């Protein structure tokens, strides 16, 4: 279908109708994303308390360089990104490969069960995680009974374990979601490809590496970018589970923006400057991922 | 070979079983909590109790109007989902079917909007919406109206992208054939495309309904009056209590999770099928 | 498949039915309302109150409402429960855009936060000077609500700090209530070690993200993170250094139980895992929730820091006041409401003392019968009398505009010093710079 990529000349009447289809979406997205985005940029060049804003050039952006809380938030966000996204993607891939076996019993059950976390609301899931991972919570009790640990792990109050808990929580909530995409992709791969590999005596790992991964590449790329965006905007989980604690050990950039707007005496200009950092990061990272993952074939 | 297979199989079942257990366990915990008294919940009981109806009674008797919030949430989620299906699918369809280089550029531009964090938009958006209140007909999407919450999630880059991807599986010959039959472009979309793409719509419906049902930050800011509040806002008010009743709270959470659970279970098959379409092409 | 579709249709019908029913209800209610407003032309006054915590502030607001409506049956009062963070988020967005759509007439604001609002949005708050005088209230409370000599808020609950402790456990460790008088932190830690050794129970909870204990110690010495002029005061703040040292001793003594949020904090003393709670008096209702511990508790004054001669046996934490938003519409009615209730009514305070263990900051409340009653839960102690006395002794400090912004960074400094053993002087010097950068506007 080479012609598919070629852009045809369209007759003007049809072209106008086509714009009619997309117009509502374009108007809405411009009005509710790009217009406020420009507003936010203008605000980011201003300073002041509440509404008494005055123009001060790039001072807010310079301030970022000396703001230790911002740097901590940036660092934390990157830790989540570097550790959590690969773990989740890999886990989702492995699960979906296992589930792709048509002879597997209870396939529907496994799939439903692993997707279930996606239907929970954040309030529910954070309350549950907080109580399960409390110092004397069920997780610690179990780990101690199994003699894996001798003292309770301070999941919520130790700087490193708190980060680990956030990573566990996000992985719990979102692995199933990514799995569904991979499952869908795997269904598009013809069984005969795997059968041929079986005849060649390929083991499971080889099949995964040389068939599954390459064929799923576009989907992996899509989910990776999606997860990256989600992680860079991470907010609800850290607010609800650890509230950024202990001592800012789990705070994220989005939460810092929220704090600047709502927890502290509001500083809209500076908050807007911080939020532009996320935008720039997302654009850069998505670009890198596209370059690395999407060696163009069209 | 077959022995190795068996072992591999056994490992597979153990791993999947364990993961399923880990995924479901918190739900079990939530339901157990909803059937117990607050004190037992804090003590970490794992045995279902018989206090559910009492919890429901306390919940309904509380100052926060749970039923009203439930109704608001349903209205907002249903309308958002319905309108989003039409608006976003029309765009996704057109971007794929009527390709021109200008529109390709517009499409990429729309994809960029996915990268904007909501935190950055909050305050400018609020100012924008507060202006709608004094702009005649636009008042229906002004602050403090369900419209404000609905309109913002009707056209999302993700959904448009999703529909566009699925449209790639839609047989273009059908369009040509319909044109020959004398159907207008809009009718082709309405009468040919929509019915053909049922499972795509089902998947989009599940995703949109869930995100609308669980959305928190924007409704929090946009809906000021208590009688306009949605469920997540009421749950958050419960959660902020200094002497929380856990049994009641978890009952509230369980009931609030039901609609998404029901929708998911009812549409699971179509959901998976729809997802498959989105990753082709 | 067909079954599923049927089920879906049923579900939709149910939901729509429910929606229709409830919308009918609201409609009739609404038309009823309009009916009354039509008949009495002047009676369309309606005020809305926002507050958080339905077991405390909301109860108080509802009592006040009932009281006010006895004399003003024509005024409709709506009390709305909302999480404190949600109130703050809404106020910030609305006030910043100048929109008053849906805002309340009266709002409860925490003492640490109000100065920020009054400075950033001076035109949005109603001057209450005509309905109350600062001298009617505990002196340390009114400082935050006064700007340019005008009173903008009605102080509500006292945040006076106290040492709530388990008498039975202290006694098991060989101490008596006598030892808890004129308590110092040093003595407190000594008792804590004995309690831990004899009973195995920790002395108090510790939340690494919450340095409220240090904040209280600071105020007990008449000091804050900022000086009287609002300038960041960290590097050379002797009271802060003393407080961090005490805090480190407390942590090093190994007599604390780590918690990470409010629920675990409350759970710790309700389950009998700690022998004392040093915090604001608003904790009393939560302590009393463990009915099986009735008669085992007692209350002593806040411990002072022996090393700091300015430190006294009194401090404060939390606490809030009622404010009127000027441009929402019914500011005068709202002010009149406050005038007749929280600003003057000792009777109301008396009722609330019983209902929610409110320690009022209204001076006139002190003589009310419930404020002189003994409490069975607290071993027959007349706790209100004691708490009121300590309320009068709390040093007044300027909370400034940035308490929370500073404290979020201070938790890191405290962690560095306490957990990692960093040098206190050099650490605070570093953080002085960081914090100054963080609070610039």
**For chain B, which residues make up each domain, given as ranges?**
56-278
Closest by Cα among B120, C420, C410 to A248: C410
- CATH 2.40.37.10 describes domain B56-278: no
Tell me the pLDDT tens digit for each residue of B176-192: 999 999 999 999 999 99
Please answer yes or no on whether B94 and A40 come within 8 Å at the CB atom.
no
Give the rounded distance of the alpha carbon of B113 from its chain centre.
19
- Residue spans of the domains in chain C: they are 43-158+318-367, 161-315+397-439
Sign of CA dihedral A117, A119, A123, A128: negative
Q: For B36, phi and psi rounded to 5 degrees?
A: -120, 165
Q: Does domain C161-315+397-439 have CATH number 3.40.190.10?
A: yes
Closest residue to B74, CB basis, from C15, C83, C262? C15
* DSSP-based helix, strand, coil % in chain A, nearest 5: 75, 0, 25
Residue A155 scores a pLDDT above 70: yes
What pLDDT, on a 0 to 100 scale, did the predictor assign at position C13?
41
Across the range A202-228, mean pLDDT stands at: 85
B135, with CB counted inside 10 A (0-12, 13-18, 19+), is exposed
Query: Tokens at residue B41, please?
Result: 């919940």
**% chain B with pLDDT above 90:** 35
Per-residue pLDDT of chain C (441 residues; tens, 9 = 90+): 444 444 444 444 444 444 444 433 333 333 333 333 333 334 468 899 999 887 789 999 999 999 999 999 999 999 988 888 888 888 888 887 777 878 899 999 999 889 888 888 888 999 999 999 999 998 888 888 888 889 999 999 888 999 999 999 999 999 999 999 999 999 999 999 999 999 999 999 998 888 999 999 999 999 999 998 889 999 999 999 999 999 999 999 999 998 887 878 888 998 899 999 999 998 888 898 888 999 999 999 999 999 999 999 999 998 899 999 999 888 999 999 999 999 999 999 999 988 888 888 888 888 888 888 888 899 999 999 899 889 889 998 888 888 888 998 899 899 899 988 899 999 999 999 888 888 876
Of the CA atoms within 13 Å of residue C119, those in its CB half-sphere come to 18
Distance CA C211, CA A248 (A): 13
> Is-cis flag, bond preceding A131, omega within 30?
no
Identify the DSSP state of C107: E
Nearest to A247 among C92, C98, C209 (CB): C209
ipTM confidence: 0.88
Q: CB–CB of C260 and A63 under 8 A?
A: no
What is the average per-residue pLDDT within A155-182? 91
* Nearest Cα residue to B19 out of A183, A172, A129, A133: A172
List the end-to-end C-alpha distance of chain B, in Å, as a whole number.
Answer: 37
Question: Which C residues in the span 266-285 are in contact with A, Cβ-Cβ below 8 Å?
Answer: none
- Position with higher pLDDT, C17 vs A54: A54
Residues in chain B with CB shorter than 8 Å from the CB of C55 are: 241-243
> Mean of the per-residue pLDDT values for chain A?
84
Of A22, A121, A180, the CB nearest to B95: A22
Contact indicator for A194, A265 with CB cutoff of 8 Å: no
Question: What is the interface size between A and B, counted as CB pairs within 8 Å?
Answer: 232
Residue C232 DSSP class: B
- Distance between C89 CA and the closest CA of chain A, angstroms: 5
User: Considering only CA atoms, which of C73, C388, C136, C418 is closest in space to residue C256?
Assistant: C418
Reference A178, options A251, A252, A84, A78; nearest CA is A84
Tally C-beta pairs within 8 A across A and C: 112
| Cβ-contact B80, A196 below 8 angstroms | no
Spatial distance between the Cα atoms of C60 and A3, rounded to a whole number of angstroms: 73
Cβ atoms within 10 Å, residue C175: 18
- For A60, nearest residue in chain C (alpha carbons): C441
Residues 6+ apart with CB under 8 A from B243: C55, C56, C266, C285, C286, C289
Q: What is the mean pLDDT of residues B182-205?
A: 91
**Residue A23 belongs to a domain:** no
pLDDT band for position A9 (cuts 50, 70, 90): low
Residues of chain A with pLDDT > 70, as a percent, come to 93
Tell me how close the Cα of B221 comes to any Cα of chain C, in angstroms: 6
Residues of B in Cβ contact (< 8 Å) with A184: 272, 275-279
Strand C46-51 and strand C106-110: the pairing is: parallel
Long-range contacts of B222-225 (CB under 8 A, 24+ apart): B222/B126, B222/B129, B222/B143, B222/B144, B222/B148, B222/B149, B223/B144, B223/B146, B223/B148, B223/B149, B223/C102, B224/B143, B224/B144, B224/C90, B224/C94, B224/C101, B224/C102, B224/C103, B225/B144, B225/C102
Which residue of B lies nearest to A26 if distances are taken between CA atoms?
B110
Output the DSSP codes for C241-289: HHHHHHHHHHHHTT-EEE--SHHHHHHHHHTT-BSEEEEEGGGHHHHHT
Q: What is d(CA A93, CA A183) in angstroms, rounded to the nearest whole number?
A: 8
The confidence score (pLDDT) of residue B1 equals 54
Which of B78, B123, B242 has the CB atom closest to C56's CB atom?
B242
CA distances from A229 to A282, B110, C163 (A): 6, 15, 48
pLDDT of B131: 84
pLDDT tens for each residue of B226-266: 888 899 888 877 766 666 778 888 899 899 989 999 998 88
CA distance B191 to chain A (A): 15
User: Quick check: is A47 in a domain?
Assistant: no
Q: Which of A63, A242, A268 sits opposite C96 (nearest CB)?
A: A268
Instruction: Find the CB nearest B152 among A32, A122, A125.
Output: A32
Q: What residues contact residue C235 under an 8 Å CB cut-off, 6+ apart? A: C425, C428, C429, C431, C432
Average pLDDT over residues A221-230: 86
For testing contact with chain B, the best of A33, A134, A223, A272 (most B CBs within 10 A): A33
**Among candidate residues C93, C62, C97, C67, the one with its CA nearest the CA of residue C80:** C62
Residue C122 has a pLDDT of 85
Residue that wins the pLDDT comparison between C441 and A13: A13
Q: How many residues does chain C have?
A: 441
Taking CA–CA distances from C271, the nearest residue in chain B reads B43
How long, in residues, is chain B?
281
Residue-wise DSSP of B148-190:
HHHHHTTS-HHHHHHHHHHHTTS-HHHHHHHHHTT--HHHIII
Q: What is the pLDDT of residue C148?
A: 87
Check pLDDT > 80 for residue B64: no
User: Within chain C, what is the greatest distance between any pair of CA atoms?
Assistant: 81
For residue A168, what pLDDT band results from cuts at 50, 70 and 90? very high
Q: Which residue has the higher pLDDT, A113 or A240?
A: A113
Distance, in Å, from the CA atom of C220 to the CA atom of C211, rounded to the nearest integer, reads: 14
Chain B nearest-CA distance from C174, in A, is 30
CA distance A279 to chain B (A): 6
B98 Cβ contact list (under 8 Å, min separation 6): A10, A14, A15, A17, A18, A21
User: Tell me, what CATH number does A277's domain have?
Assistant: 1.10.3720.10
Q: Strands (DSSP E) along C252-406, which ranges?
A: 256-258, 276-280, 297-301, 320-324
Q: Is B42 within 8 Å of C267 when comparing Cβ atoms?
A: yes
Give one word for A243, left, alpha or beta, with left for phi > 0 and alpha for psi -120 to 50. left
- CA-to-CA distance for B279 and B166, rounded, in angstroms? 8
For residue A250, the chain C residues in CB contact (below 8 A) are none
Q: What does the alpha-carbon distance between residue C93 and residue C106 come to, in Å, rounded to a whole number?
A: 17
Distance CA B46, CA B26 (A): 11
C123 in reach of chain A (CB within 8 A): no
Judged by CB atoms closer than 8 Å, whether chains meet at A109 and B20 is answered as yes
Could you tell me which residues come within 8 angstroms of residue A51 by beta carbon, excluding any fewer than 6 positions away? C95, C96, C98, C120, C121
CA–CA min distance B81, chain C (Å)? 14
Over residues B188-210, mean pLDDT = 91
Q: Pick the closest to residue C74 from C35, C104, C45 (CA basis).
A: C45
Is C263 touching A (CB cutoff 8 A)?
yes
Quickly state the pLDDT bin for A84 (edges 50, 70, 90): very high
d(CA C298, CA C177): 8
Contact (CB<8Å) A116/B22: no
Say which CATH topology domain C43-158+318-367 has: D-Maltodextrin-Binding Protein; domain 2 (3.40.190)
Count CB atoms within 10 A of the CB of residue B118. 18
Q: Are the CB atoms for C426 and C235 separated by under 8 Å?
A: no
- B96-109 burial: b if 16+ Cβ within 10 Å, else e: bbbbbeebeebbee
Chain B residue numbers touching C285 (CB-CB < 8 A): 242-243
């Amino acid at each position: 279908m080479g012609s598919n990529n070629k852009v045809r000349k369209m007759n003007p009447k049809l072209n106008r109708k086509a714009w009619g289809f997309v117009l509502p979406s374009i108007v809405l997205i411009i009005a509710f994303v790009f217009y406020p985005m420009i507003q936010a940029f203008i605000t980011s060049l201003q300073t002041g308390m509440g509404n008494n804003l005055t123009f001060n050039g790039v001072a807010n952006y310079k301030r970022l360089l000396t703001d230790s809380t911002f740097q901590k938030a940036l660092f934390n966000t990157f830790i989540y990104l570097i550790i959590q996204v690969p773990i989740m993607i890999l886990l989702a891939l492995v699960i979906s490969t296992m589930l792709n076996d048509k002879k597997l019993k209870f396939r529907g059950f496994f799939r439903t069960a692993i997707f279930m976390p996606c239907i929970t609301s954040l309030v529910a899931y954070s309350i549950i995680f907080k109580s399960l991972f409390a110092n004397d919570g069920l997780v610690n009790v179990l780990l101690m009974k199994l003699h894996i640990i001798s003292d309770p792990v301070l999941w919520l109050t130790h700087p490193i374990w708190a980060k680990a808990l956030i990573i566990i929580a996000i992985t719990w909530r979102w692995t199933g979601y990514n799995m569904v995409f991979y499952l869908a992709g795997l269904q598009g791969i013809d069984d005969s490809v795997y059968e041929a590999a079986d005849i060649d005596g390929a083991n499971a790992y080889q099949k995964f590496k040389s068939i599954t991964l390459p064929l799923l590449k576009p989907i992996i790329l899509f989910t990776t970018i999606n997860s990256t965006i989600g992680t860079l905007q991470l907010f609800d989980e850290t607010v609800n589970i650890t509230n950024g604690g202990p001592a800012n050990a789990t705070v994220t950039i989005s939460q810092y923006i929220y704090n600047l707007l709502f927890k502290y005496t509001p500083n809209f200009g500076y908050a807007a400057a911080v939020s532009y950092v996320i935008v720039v990061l997302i654009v850069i990272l998505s670009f890198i991922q596209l370059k690395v993952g999407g060696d163009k074939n069209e | 070979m077959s022995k190795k297979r068996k072992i591999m199989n056994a490992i597979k079942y153990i791993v999947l079983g364990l993961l399923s257990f880990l995924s479901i366990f918190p739900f079990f915990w939530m339901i157990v909590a909803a059937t117990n008294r607050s004190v037992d919940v804090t003590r970490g009981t794992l045995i279902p109790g018989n206090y559910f109806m009492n919890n429901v009674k306390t919940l309904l008797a509380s100052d926060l109007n749970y039923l009203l919030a439930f109704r608001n949430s349903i209205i907002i989620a249903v309308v958002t989902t319905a309108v989003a299906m039409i608006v976003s699918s029309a765009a996704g369809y057109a971007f794929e079917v009527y390709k021109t280089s200008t529109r390709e550029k517009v499409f990429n531009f729309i994809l960029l909007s996915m990268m904007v964090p909501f935190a950055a938009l909050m305050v400018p958006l609020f100012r924008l919406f507060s202006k709608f209140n004094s702009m005649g007909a636009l008042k229906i999407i002004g602050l403090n109206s369900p419209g404000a919450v609905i309109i913002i999630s009707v056209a999302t880059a993700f959904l448009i992208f999703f529909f566009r991807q699925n449209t790639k599986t839609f047989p273009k010959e059908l369009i040509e054939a319909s044109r020959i039959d004398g159907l207008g472009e809009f009718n082709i979309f309405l009468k040919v495309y929509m019915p053909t793409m049922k499972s795509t719509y089902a998947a989009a419906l599940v995703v949109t309904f869930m995100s609308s049902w669980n959305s928190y930050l924007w409704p929090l800011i946009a809906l000021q009056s208590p009688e306009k509040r949605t469920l997540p806002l009421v749950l958050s008010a419960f959660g902020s209590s200094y002497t929380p009743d856990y049994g009641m709270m978890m009952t509230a959470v369980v009931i609030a999770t039901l609609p998404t659970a029901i929708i998911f279970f009812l549409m699971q098959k179509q959901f998976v099928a729809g997802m498959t379409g989105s990753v082709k092409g | 498949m067909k079954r599923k579709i049927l089920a879906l249709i049923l579900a939709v019908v149910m939901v729509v039915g429910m929606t229709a029913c409830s919308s009918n209800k609201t409609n009739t209610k609404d038309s009823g309302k309009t009916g009354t407003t039509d008949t009495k032309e002047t009676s369309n006054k309606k005020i809305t109150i926002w507050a958080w915590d339905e077991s405390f502030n909301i109860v108080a607001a509802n009592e006040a409402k009932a009281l006010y409506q006895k004399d003003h049956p024509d005024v409709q009062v709506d009390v709305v429960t909302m999480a404190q963070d949600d109130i703050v988020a809404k106020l910030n967005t609305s006030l910043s855009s100048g929109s008053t759509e849906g805002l309340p007439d009266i709002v409860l604001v925490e003492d640490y936060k109000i100065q920020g609002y009054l400075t950033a949005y001076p035109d949005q708050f109603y001057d209450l000077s005509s309905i109350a005088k600062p001298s009617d209230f505990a002196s340390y409370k009114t400082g935050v609500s006064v700007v340019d000599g005008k009173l903008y808020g009605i102080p509500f609950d006292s945040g006076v700090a106290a040492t709530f402790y388990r008498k039975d456990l202290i006694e098991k460790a060989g101490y008596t209530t006598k030892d808890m008088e004129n308590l110092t932190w040093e003595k407190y830690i000594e008792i804590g070690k004995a309690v831990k050794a004899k009973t195995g129970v920790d002395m108090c909870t510790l939340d690494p993200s919450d340095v409220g204990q240090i904040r209280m110690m600071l105020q007990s010495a008449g000091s804050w993170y900022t000086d009287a002029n609002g300038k960041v005061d960290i590097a050379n703040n002797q009271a802060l250094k003393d407080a961090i040292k005490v805090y480190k001793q407390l942590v090093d003594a190994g007599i604390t139980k780590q918690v990470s949020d409010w629920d675990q904090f409350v759970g710790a003393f309700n389950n009998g895992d700690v022998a004392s709670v040093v915090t604001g008096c608003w904790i009393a209702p939560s302590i009393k929730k463990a009915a099986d511990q009735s008669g085992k508790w007692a209350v002593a004054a806040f411990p002072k820091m022996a090393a700091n001669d300015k430190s006294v046996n009194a401090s404060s934490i939390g606490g809030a006041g009622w404010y009127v938003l000027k441009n929402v519409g019914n500011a005068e009615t709202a002010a009149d409401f406050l005038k007749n209730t929280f600003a003057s009514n000792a009777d109301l305070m008396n009722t609330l003392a019983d209902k929610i263990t409110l320690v009022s900051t209204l001076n006139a409340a002190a003589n009310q019968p419930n404020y002189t009653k003994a409490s069975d839960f607290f071993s027959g102690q007349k706790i209100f009398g004691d708490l009121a006395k300590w309320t009068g002794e709390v040093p007044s400090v300027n909370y400034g505009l940035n308490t929370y912004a500073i404290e979020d960074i201070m938790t890191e400094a405290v962690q560095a010093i306490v957990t990692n053993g960093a040098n206190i002087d050099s650490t605070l010097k570093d953080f002085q710079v960081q914090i100054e950068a963080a609070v610039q506007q």
